[in-house]
Amino acid sequence: MTGEIHWFWLAMTIAVIIWYSTITIYISFRGAFDIKEMLGRLDQLAKEEREAVDRRL
């Protein structure tokens, strides 16, 4: 029984390392892309707001 539990935890540890590595690689690329897109959107929004203020003046 103890041997089986050791295997269970070993399998869980391997699963964690594989899953965590995959998520880290995925988030590194996807996150950079999302943040770049978000900053671009915020820049555009700020630009539109500035233009609206200029038009009012």
Partner 1 sequence: MGVFLRVGGEFLVTVCGFNERYLEITMTALLVSVAIYTIMGGMLSVLITDYLQFVVMSVGLLVVTVLILYKVGWTNITDAVATQHGAGGFNPFVHEKLGYAFVIYFALHQLAVVLTWQTTVQRLLAAKDTLTGLKIYTRTSFFFVCRFLIPGLWGMAALAVLGPQWIGTPESLQAMPKLLSTIVPMGLMGVLIAAMLAADMSTDSAYMLTWGSVIYNDILAPFRNKNFSEKRGILWNRMIVGCIGIFLLVYGLWYPLKGNLWNYLAITGTIYLASMSVLLISCCYWKRANNWGAAGAIMAGAVIPITYLVMEQLPATKGLAARIGPYQSGIATYAVAWTAMIGGSLLKPKTETVLEEAKAL
**What is the contact surface with partner 1 in residues (CB under 8 A)?**
1-2, 5-6, 8-10, 12-13, 16-17, 19-21, 23-24, 27-28, 31-32, 35, 42
Q: How far is the CB of 56 from partner 1 (least distance, A)?
A: 17
The dihedral sign for the CA sequence 31, 35, 41, 44: negative
Distance (Å, whole) CA 49 – CA 57: 13
- The first and second tokens of residue 37, run together, are 């897109």
CB of 17 to partner 1, least distance (A): 6
Task: Say which amino acid occupies 39.
Answer: L
Q: Which is nearer to partner 1, 9 or 56 (CB)?
A: 9
